[in-house]
Amino acid sequence: MPPARPLSQLGQLPTRGPRLTRDVPQDSYLKVKMLVGEEFQVPLRVPMTVQELRQQVAQKTGVPTFQQRLLLHPKGTVLQDDQPLGLQGLGPESTVLLVVQPCEPLSILVRNSAGRSRAYKVQLTQTVAQLKQQVSQQEGVRADQFSLVFQGRPMEDKQQLGELGLTLNCTVYMNPYLRGGTPHAPRGP
C-alpha cells in the first residue's frame, strides 16, 4: 500500500477520469441518476467521501443510506465506501447511478437480562422504537422500561435498523432501566 499523501497534494494523486482537487469550483456538482429515469444534482465538495454522498442522496430521495448502491456511470463500477470520490474517478459533472437495494425480512435474536434469547423477524427499514414495541409485547415489559444495545452501542429509538448494521441472527441486548430511569451499563460482547 503506498504511503498516504497530505491533502495539499490531492490534485497530484493518480486517478482514472476527472481529478477532484482542492480547486473544485464552488458551484460544482455530481449528477445522480435513478433507474426510474429521475435525475438530480448534489453539490461536490473536497474532500468528499462516498458516505457523505450517500447522506446527500438520502436527503434528496428518502432512500436510506444502507439501501443505496452507487455506481460510476456509464462504467458501472461500484463506488467503495472507504475511498474518497476523487480516487474513484469522480469529478465535477460526473454521473453516479443509484440502485435501490430491496430490504428482505431478517431474523435477529434479542437477549433479555435473564440471558434468554428470542428470535424476531424485522425489516431493516423499521425503527428501533418499532423493534422495542415487538420486544415489549413478547417480553411483557413496557418499551419505556428498557433499552436495546447492539455491538456495545445503545440503539436510539429514531434510528432505522439498517443504519446499525444488523445481520442475520445477530444478537441485540435488552437492558432494563434502573428505578429512576437510567439504564444498566450496555451489555454485549
Inform me whether the pLDDT recorded for 23 exceeds 80: no
- Domain limits of the chain? 25-100, 106-176
In this structure, the strands spanning 146-150 and 77-78 are unpaired
Asked if residues 178 and 147 have their Cβ atoms less than 8 Å apart, the reply is no
Q: What is the pLDDT of residues 107-148, one digit of tens each?
A: 999 999 999 999 999 999 999 999 999 999 999 999 999 999
How much of the chain exceeds pLDDT 90, in percent? Answer: 51
Q: What is the pLDDT of residues 169-188, one digit of tens each?
A: 999 999 998 766 555 555 56
Inform me whether the pLDDT recorded for 46 exceeds 90: no
Instruction: Domain 106-176: state its class.
Output: alpha beta
Residue ranges of the alpha helices (H) in 16-157?
50-61, 128-139
CATH for the stretch 25-100 = 3.10.20.90
